[in-house]
């Protein structure tokens, strides 16, 4: 008999819908929590962050890995987090811990896990390997297959070189995450301060190429782009400056390591109220101008600005981020049939 050919099934409609929903969630602040610290896990439960990840990798020493898994399983199954998205960072594939991280945590608490964060992702093969292990564990545990996402972390030169391959390696991929400390070491950057510019590099941003490469790949493949940590946890203004740089580029959020960074992160990665109001006004004005009632015009004046389809797309980005952050407009703009605008209080 000729063996039947096996074809890898496409993601189910429910899995595709779940992954699409996970990709759309806000990630302005992503809180890193050591899996080895029950105390810190407890404090993390109530913090107003968009995503929390329980760390089994760099924040946990080798001898503490096994207990950290137990702590993470207990934390996942014993209560909710205020964060709408809960992730577990497993160990990288160049360690002996990865498979056990997945089988034990997902096998015992997978119903409470939205995604796995894969550190030091260097190739698409590593992402596919995690996908395959996840699928096996989901089936064995009776979980819906394909409902847990993957967040690859770009932490070295090879990972950045292969970033498009990594971004497209699995239908589970949700985000691309920058890991600055390991990346800085991998290219020999002359600094010991993560998140700040290396001494002697002025003017400019030493991380610009890396950040923009991650952002462009993420956007090309419908993913979010997340910046890594700023290690001086008590320097809130320094954190704010670093966050503002990546927010200005278009990143969706940044890791936070301490409660003091949370409010600043949520603020920096949300639109200002005036930006949100303007975006909503642009969308309303453009919708009116392109309708039959508004004359079916492709361009319209909004205040002293000329709007077109590109303006609408830019406004959609700001509007979506504001709505995801729970923002509402504070000013109503009324558009007359000629496309001019007036402002008034709601």
Token duo for residue 281: 């006004």
More confident residue, 27 or 306: 27
Helix (H, G, I), strand (E, B) or coil at 130: helix
Token duo for residue 58: 């760099």
Confidence of residue 345 (pLDDT cuts 50, 70, 90): very low
pLDDT tens digits, residue range 248-288?
Answer: 999 999 999 999 999 999 999 988 788 788 878 888 887 87
pTM of the model: 0.85
Cα distance between residue 338 and residue 120, in whole Å:
55
pLDDT at 150: 98
Report, as an integer, the average pLDDT of 204-214: 94
Confidence of residue 334 (pLDDT cuts 50, 70, 90): very low
Confidence of residue 9 (pLDDT cuts 50, 70, 90): low
Q: Which of 256, 252, 195, 235 is nearest to 30 (CA)?
A: 256
Percent of the chain with pLDDT over 70: 92
Question: Which residue is associated with the tokens 């001494």?
Answer: 199
Cα distance between residue 101 and residue 109, in whole Å:
11
Q: What angle do CA 224, 227, 230 make, to 5 degrees?
A: 160
pLDDT at 286: 77
Contact between residue 72 and residue 88 where contact means Cβ atoms under 8 Å apart: yes
Contact between residue 45 and residue 33 where contact means Cβ atoms under 8 Å apart: no
Cα distance between residue 214 and residue 208, in whole Å:
10
Confidence of residue 210 (pLDDT cuts 50, 70, 90): very high
Cα distance between residue 3 and residue 36, in whole Å:
47
pLDDT tens digits, residue range 86-108?
Answer: 999 999 999 999 999 999 999 99
Q: Which of 252, 226, 268, 220 is nearest to 317 (CA)?
A: 252
Cα distance between residue 128 and residue 195, in whole Å:
30
Contact between residue 82 and residue 48 where contact means Cβ atoms under 8 Å apart: yes
Q: Which helix (H) or strand (E) holds 88?
A: strand 85-89
What are the C-alpha distances in Å from 147 to residues 114, 230, 343? 8, 31, 45
What's the mean pLDDT when you consider all of the chain? 89
pLDDT tens digits, residue range 218-229?
Answer: 999 999 999 999
């Amino acid at each position: 008999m000729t063996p039947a050919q096996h074809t890898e099934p496409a993601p189910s409609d429910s899995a595709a819908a779940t992954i699409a929903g996970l990709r759309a969630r806000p990630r302005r602040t992503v809180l890193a929590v050591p899996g080895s610290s029950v105390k810190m896990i407890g404090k993390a439960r109530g913090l107003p962050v968009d995503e929390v990840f329980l760390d089994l990798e760099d924040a946990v020493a080798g001898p503490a890995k096994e207990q950290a898994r137990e702590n993470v399983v207990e934390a996942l199954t014993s209560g909710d987090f205020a964060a709408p998205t809960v992730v577990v960072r497993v160990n990288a594939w160049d360690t002996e811990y990865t498979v056990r991280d997945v089988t034990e945590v997902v096998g015992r608490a997978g119903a409470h896990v939205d995604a796995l964060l894969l550190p030091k992702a260097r190739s698409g093969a590593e992402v596919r390997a995690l996908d395959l292990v996840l699928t096996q564990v989901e089936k064995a545990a009776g979980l819906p297959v394909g409902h847990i996402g993957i967040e690859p972390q770009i932490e070295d030169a090879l990972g950045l070189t292969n970033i498009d391959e990594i971004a497209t390696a699995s239908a589970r991929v949700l985000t691309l995450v920058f890991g600055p400390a390991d990346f800085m070491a991998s290219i020999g950057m002359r600094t010991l301060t993560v998140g700040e510019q290396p001494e002697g590099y002025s003017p400019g941003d030493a991380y610009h190429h890396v950040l923009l490469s991650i952002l462009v790949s993420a956007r090309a493949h419908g993913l979010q782009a997340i910046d890594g940590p700023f290690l001086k946890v008590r320097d809130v203004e320094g954190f704010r400056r670093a966050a503002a740089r990546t927010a200005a580029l278009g990143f969706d959020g940044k890791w936070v390591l301490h409660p003091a960074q949370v409010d600043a992160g949520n603020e920096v990665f949300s639109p200002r109220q005036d930006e949100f109001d303007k975006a909503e006004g642009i969308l309303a004005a453009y919708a009116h101008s392109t309708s039959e009632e508004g004359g079916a015009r492709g361009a319209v004046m909004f205040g002293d600005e000329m709007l077109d389809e590109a303006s609408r797309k830019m406004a959609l980005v700001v509007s979506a981020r504001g709505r995801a952050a729970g923002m509402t407009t504070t000013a109503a703009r009324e558009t007359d049939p000629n496309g001019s605008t007036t402002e008034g209080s709601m």
